[in-house]
Structure 1
Amino acid sequence: MTLGRMDFGVAKGINARATLQFNRDADRRDNAKVMRLYQESLEVILKAWTQEAFTHKGEFYEFPVPGWTKTNRFVEPLDPRYHAADGSYKAMYVHPRPYQPGHPPVWLMSNAPPTFALAGERGWGVISMSAGPRATRACWEPYREALSKREGRAVRLGEGVGVCTAVYVGESMAEAEATIRPAINAYYAFLGGSRPAGEWTKAGYLDVGEDMTPAEADGDWFDFLNARGIIVVGDAAFVADRFAEKQETIGLDHLMLMQQYTGVPYAKILASWDRLFEHVVPQFGTQSIAQKRELAHA
C-alpha cells in the first residue's frame, strides 16, 4: 500500500513477563539466549523476504518443518522449488514479498554497544533510547567503525543511527513543565521498578563518568531527565535548542519522538505536534541549526 515507504524495526522486548508469553526461549532473564533467539528470528525474516525458496535450520527454528508431504493431487505437477518428487516439503516462501528491492531498511532498538557493532556489520540502522552524550557515543562509535569497514568509507558519527526521546512542545516553558511533569514522574517511576537489575533507575540514566548529586537523588524524575536532555520538554525555542545541541555533540541525524503521556488531554498532544512542525522542524531544513551556527562563527 505504501509502495515501499516503510522501514522495519525490531527489539527484544522490555521484560520477561511480556516476551515469555510468546516463546519460552524468550526469557529476558537469560539475556544471552534471548539475543541468539532475536538474531535468528531476524535471520529467518530476511530470508523469507529475499529468497523465492528458503530453508532454515538453527538453534531455535527449522523451516520447513520436516516430515510434511503434499497429498493433494489437484495441485500437481508439484513445483520442484518447494517439493521433492515424493511430495515432501523441502523449501518454502512467503507472499507477497516486500515492494522494495531486497527488503525494507532494518532498524534495531538497543542501548548496548555489541548490538550497534552487529548492526554496523550488517548495514542495519539502530535507534537507542535517549541517554547522555558519552553513553550515546559509546554505542555509536562501534557502529561507525563497523559500518565504515563494511562500506569501505569513512562513515561520520551519527550516520545510520538515531535516538528515541520523549518530547513536548508547550505554549510556554511554564505550561510545558506543568503539563508533562506529572506524566513523566509517573512513567519513569513505573519503568524504574520493572527491571530487577535496576537499569532504569535514575542511576541507569547517568552519563559515563557522571555522579548523582543528593539533590538529584531526592528530586523528581522530570527535573533529572529534562536537565540532561534525555527528555525534551519546553517551549519551541527550548526544544529546538536541545535538538541542535544533540546535533553538535553526537551528530544526531534521526529522532523518534514519543508522546505517551498518561493523563495529558489529547488536544494538548495535538497542539504540541502543531508547534513542533510549525516552529521547530523548519529550523532543521536542508541546513541544521548546528550548521548555521558554524557558518556564523566562521
Structure 2
Amino acid sequence: MRFGILLNHQFSRTDSLAARLGETVELVTAASELGLDSVFEIHHYLARLQTPQPLTLLARLIPASGDMELGTGVYISTLAHPVHIAEEVATLDQLSGGRVTLGVGAGYRRDEFRSFAVNAKTIGRRFVESLQVLRALWSGQPVTHLGEFFQLEDQTISVLPAQPGGPPLWIGANAPKTILRAARIGDAWIPSPNVKPRWAIGNLQAFRQEAQACGRLKQIRRYPILRETYVSSSGAQAEKGAGRYIRDEYLHYSGYNLEYFETRFGDLRQKAFLWGLPDDIAAGIDKLAAAGFDHFIFRMSWLGMPFSFTIKSLELLVREVIPRYR
C-alpha cells in the first residue's frame, strides 16, 4: 500500500503567492520526512484563483521531496501539443532521477477549451491521439504520425525520459465510457477525490474487466485513488478546523458548470470524503483497499486554510492511520 498527498496549489488572489508556495515546499518536505510515498499536483489555466503550473512547481519540489514519486493528478493534455508535453515531462523525469508519473485528463472547463481554440466536441479523440503520439515520442525512435490533430514526419524529441519508454500514464476519468477508455490506453485509472466509494468500487471492477478483455490487465500495476482527507482528534475539531475551507473550495468549483458541488456538498462530505477521527479515516481506506485500490493520495488543504491545520492533520494521519497498513 502506498500513500501520498495531492497539493491544493490554488490560492486567493489576495494571498501572497510567494508565501503560499513557501508553505507548499514546507508541506512536501514534511511529507517526505514523515515517510509518504508520493506528491501529486492539479492543473488548470486561466483560473479565478492563483494556480501555479504543475510541471514547473514539481521541478522546484525535487530537492524537497526526497525519493517521493512526483506526479500530476491530472495534467490537461488536450490543451498542449504532445511534443511539448513529451519534452517538458522528459526533462522533469531526468531532473528527478526517474520519479515522475504523468496523470492526464481531457479537461472539462469550457473557458479553457475556448481560449486554446480546442473544439470541446473533439476532446475525446484529441486526448487519445495525443497519448499515442506521446508514447511514440518517448520510445526514442523517429516518429511519423499523420493524424486528425497532430502531424509529425520523421521527428525525434531532443530529451528522453530517465524511465525507459517514459513515465507511467495514469488516466483521470469520471464517466463510465471514459473509464473503459482508460483501461484500453492507460497504465492506471485515477478517480477524482470527490467520488463516492460505491461508485469508485463499481467502476474499478469495470476498469479491470475492460483491461482483461483487451489483454492489458497485467500491465495495470497500480490502482490509485484521490481522497479529500482531514484527520482530527475529534469530529467537532474536524468541522471547526477544516469544514469552512473545504466548503469554500467546493463553492468555487460550482462556478465551473459543476453546480452539484454546491447543492450536494453535504452528501459528498458525508459519503465521499475521509473525514474525522483516525478510526474513521482507516474505515474509509479499508473499504476502498478491500476493492483493490492500493495507492491513496490525500488532499489535505483547501482554499484559505491555515498551513498549521494541514500539518496537524498530516501528522495525525502518519502517526495514527498509516502504520495500520505497514
TM-score of the superposed pair, with normalisation by structure 1? 0.69
Q: Does the CA-based 8 Å contact 2:184-2:216 persist in structure 1?
A: no
Q: Does the CA-based 8 Å contact 2:300-2:314 persist in structure 1?
A: no
Alignment partner, residue 236 of structure 2: 174
Q: Aligned-pair distance for 1:47?
A: 1.3
**Cα distance between partner residues in 2 of 1:11 and 1:123:** 11
| Match 2:285 to one of 243, 253, 258 | 243
Q: Does the CA-based 8 Å contact 2:235-2:276 persist in structure 1?
A: yes
Helix, strand or coil at the partner of 1:55: strand
Sequence identity percentage = 23
Q: Which has the higher strand share?
A: 2
- Shift of the 92–199 alpha-carbon distance from structure 1 to 2, 3 Å rule, reads farther
Q: Does 1:195 align with 2:257?
A: yes
Helix, strand or coil at the partner of 2:128: helix
The amino acid that maps onto 2:306 is P
Q: Does 1:225 align with 2:268?
A: yes
The amino acid that maps onto 1:147 is A
Q: Aligned-pair distance for 1:200?
A: 4.3
Q: Does the CA-based 8 Å contact 1:193-1:201 persist in structure 2?
A: no
1:98-247 aligned at under 5 Å gives the runs 98-129=161-192, 130-151=194-215, 160-195=222-257, 198=259, 200=261, 202=263, 221=265, 223-228=266-271, 230-247=272-289
Q: Aligned-pair distance for 1:107?
A: 0.2
Deviations 1:228-258 (A, max 9, x none): 1x1112122221222112223x332222221
Q: Does 1:25 align with 2:118?
A: yes
**Cα distance between partner residues in 2 of 1:152 and 1:243:** 26
- Shift of the 265–35 alpha-carbon distance from structure 1 to 2, 3 Å rule, reads same
Alignment partner, residue 41 of structure 1: 130
Q: Aligned-pair distance for 1:5?
A: 2.0
Larger Rg: 1
**Cα distance between partner residues in 1 of 2:184 and 2:149:** 23
Helix, strand or coil at the partner of 1:274: helix
CA-based RMSD: 2.5
Q: Does the CA-based 8 Å contact 2:196-2:268 persist in structure 1?
A: no
Alignment partner, residue 9 of structure 1: 103
**Cα distance between partner residues in 1 of 2:136 and 2:218:** 29
Helix, strand or coil at the partner of 1:163: strand
Helix, strand or coil at the partner of 2:237: helix
The amino acid that maps onto 2:289 is Q
**Cα distance between partner residues in 2 of 1:61 and 1:135:** 35
Q: Does the CA-based 8 Å contact 1:16-1:26 persist in structure 2?
A: no
Q: Does 1:283 align with 2:283?
A: no
1:26-105 aligned at under 5 Å gives the runs 26-27=119-120, 30=121, 33-64=122-153, 91-105=154-168
TM-score of the superposed pair, with normalisation by structure 2? 0.64
* Unaligned 5+ runs, structure 2: 1-94
* Unaligned 5+ runs, structure 1: 65-90, 204-220, 286-298
Aligned length: 231
**Cα distance between partner residues in 2 of 1:284 and 1:145:** 27
Q: Which fold has the larger relative contact order, with Cα–Cα distance below 8 Å and residues 6 or more apart in sequence?
A: 2
The amino acid that maps onto 1:258 is R
Alignment partner, residue 254 of structure 1: 295
**Cα distance between partner residues in 1 of 2:324 and 2:268:** 24
Q: Aligned-pair distance for 1:13?
A: 2.1
